[in-house]
Chain A
Amino acid sequence: MNIALLIMLGFLLLSLYLGLMARRGKDMSMEQWAVGGRGFGTIFVFLLLAGEIYTTSTFLGTSGWSYSKGGPAFYILCTSSLSYLMGYWLLPPIWKYAKEHKLVSQSDFFATKYKSKGLGVLVAIVGVLALLPYLILQFKGLGIIVSQASYGSISPTLAIVISVIAITIYVSVSGIHGSAWTAVMKDILIFGIVVFLGIYLPVHYYGGIQPMFEAVNEAKPDFLLVPDTGMSFSWFISTTLLTVIGFSMWPHTFAAYFSAKSTNVFKKNTIIMPLYTLMLPFVLIVGFTAILQVPGLTGSDGDLALLKISIQTFDPWMVGLIGAAGLLTGIVPGSLLLMAASTAIAKNIYKVMFPETTDQKLSKVAKTIVPILAIVCMFYAIFNSSTIMTLLLMGYNFVTQLFPALLASLSKSRFFTKQGAAAGMIVGVSMVVYITLTGLSVADLFPGLPQAIQELNIGFIAVFLNAVAMLIVSFFTSKRDVPVNSPGLQKEA
């Protein structure tokens, strides 16, 4: 075992230890395990949310995209800063409602709002469907990190297996408290590493950031811009907006919202969080620096750019620190994702099927689902060759399909029905599944349309059709002649 792996192992054990400590003295009821008993202030919620944003997709995916795609990768900056703004108005009503009704998951929220257990199950399924690619990409990233940092002595497949085992133990042991404490450690480490790499690497190889960009611009003209075709502004803006609305829909993010103490937490966070994304340009710069220094990484190998250039530049102990930061960016969000998915399956699918299950039994069921899900995702991570960003966008395409129904549930209007919400989700998700399986683009589906429309992100089209379906079905199922708050409407429960 080399020094790089030893350092990473040290951080892994430290994070497990923090998870165990956080648990001590706390009674682990379902609510405690999943939402930390709703007692977190601004800083903690901030860190939890940050924990989700700074995942392996940021660390490896972002640098991988600036390496292989150039200008279009800037969308990541737009989306990660703009995503928070809507939360100022969207999150407080969600939090208040969740608190009033003691909800612990996203599916509970929809089921209670629409007074339909069936809809709750559907939401849970959509949520899990969206979480899977997100989880798979964490494992994939972890596999890359561990195997690269081992200098090839651990194969990527074995590396994925090890990471999955680590995450599973971590989640089973600690629940959300573990994630929050490790998030503190992770953020300090990753911030230091990323800023260092983003400044040191271009200075080391080119004598500065501007000379580096000039060299890239000369070698690949227009690479630093958004192109006129393909990933054009039509794609850029639609993808940004899609991820902005999808951002607040993730089942695990929902669970993190519930852990806040008051609604002001969110409002303050919307001011601080955009600034947090100022770390991302450093990651982008690492990818750009790697273009001419470690050339020839094609396809999903672009995700290796950050680690390849680090290994080429630094001693093993430094590679170990970088690897440890990467490891935490996978484990912290990975554990939240796993927990959210298993809580959703246990509470919102299993419990609905077997309503007599006791809370204790349910907690056990959730903890049993953790390793099962982890293994399923592990196999996908091993056999699927998509890039990290592709998997991330796939998850977004799915999760965004919850947005129209969420927005409708927050409006005071009683026009939207559970049937409408369900129909919208089914239409949107079916379209995403179809597109994902066939690999079609808007251009293939509608060859006659103008280029600007053809290059729209496909998830954007799916969410539009989703909203249309919801409107139409709601129109036919809405009991508009029944006065609001009449006994007739209450009975639907």
Chain B
Amino acid sequence: MKLYYWLVLIPFIGMLGGAVLFNQVTPYVFGLPFLLFWILLWIILSSLTMLVIYQLDKANGLLDREENES
């Protein structure tokens, strides 16, 4: 259990906690109501969070060896 695994909580808190705080239509961002924009932003950030965790795992040699992965 690595300490940086706790990073995974950030998307949950950011997306859901943020939604409670920013439950509003304005300002529109990219034409979207703010609440919708906020959630979409966190979809991208959750993907980035996992990328960070994956890279940290890779750096620590915690990934399984690839078996002829296509």
User: Does B28 lie within 8 Å of A267, measured CB to CB?
Assistant: no
Q: A224-B25, A265-B69 are in contact. Are A274 and B36 (CB under 8 A)?
A: no
Binary per-residue interface labels of chain B (38-70) against chain A in the complex, 1 for a CB within 8 Å, 0 otherwise? 011011101101110110010000011011111
What's the dominant secondary structure at chain B's contact region? helix
**CB of A81, distance to nearest CB on chain B (Å):** 4
Question: Do A82 and B35 have beta carbons less than 8 Å apart?
Answer: no
Chain A interfacial residues counted at CB < 8 A? 44
Which A residues are CB-close (under 8 A) to B32? 209-210, 213, 281
A74 touches B44 (CB 8 A): no
Q: In the complex, are the beta carbons of B16 and A77 less than 8 A apart? A: no
Report if A317 contacts B (CB, 8 A). Answer: no
A277 to B23, CA, bound (A): 21
Dominant SS at the A interface? helix
CB pair A85–B46 under 8 Å, yes or no, is: yes
**A278 B43 Cβ-Cβ under 8 A:** yes
* B35 A74 Cβ-Cβ under 8 A: yes
The answer on a CB contact under 8 Å between B35 and A85 is no
Q: Is B46's CB under 8 angstroms from A74's CB?
A: no
Q: Are A237 and B16 in contact (CB under 8 A)?
A: yes
Q: Flag if B64 contacts A82 (CB, 8 Å).
A: no
**CA A440 – CA B42 in complex, angstroms?**
34
> Among the listed stretches A13-21, A29-37, A256-264, A333-341, which one makes contact with chain B, having 4 or more residues with CB under 8 Å of it?
A256-264
How many Å lie between the Cα of A63 and that of B25 in the bound state? 19
A263 with B64: CB separation less than 8 A: yes
Q: How far is the CA of A270 from the CA of B16 in the complex (A)?
A: 19
B60 to chain A, nearest CB (A): 13
Chain A 417-438, CB within 8 Å of chain B: the 1/0 string?
A: 0000000000000000000000
B24 CB contacts on chain A under 8 angstroms: 225
Known interface pairs A78-B15, A88-B50, A271-B54; A277-B43 also in contact (CB < 8 Å): yes
Are the C-beta atoms of B44 and A82 separated by less than 8 Å? no
Q: Is the CB of B35 within 8 A of A225?
A: yes
The answer on a CB contact under 8 Å between A262 and B54 is no
Tell me the complex Cα distance, A261–B66, Å: 9
How far is the CB of B54 from the nearest CB of chain A, in Å?
6
**Which residue of the partner chain, among A81, A261, A265, contacts B42 with CB atoms under 8 Å?**
A81
**B19/A262 in contact, CB under 8 A:** no
Contact of A270 among B20, B50, B64 (CB under 8 A): B50
Q: Hey, what's the 0/1 contact readout for A194-218 against B, CB within 8 Å counting as 1?
A: 0000000000000011100110010
A284 neighbours in B (Cβ, 8 Å)? 36
Indicate if the CB atoms of A233 and B25 lie closer than 8 Å. no
Cβ of B47 and Cβ of A274 under 8 Å apart? yes
CB contact between B43 and one of A41, A77, A86 (< 8 Å): that residue: A77
Given A74-B19, A224-B25, A225-B24, is A267 in contact with B35 using a C-beta cutoff of 8 Å? Answer: no
CB contacts under 8 Å to B, within A63-94, are 71, 74, 77-78, 81-82, 84-86, 88-89, 92
Contact A225 B23, beta carbon cutoff 8 Å: yes
Known: A78-B19, A226-B19, A233-B20. 13 other contacts (CB 8 A): A74-B35, A82-B15, A86-B8, A88-B8, A88-B54, A210-B28, A213-B25, A237-B16, A263-B64, A267-B54, A271-B50, A274-B46, A278-B44
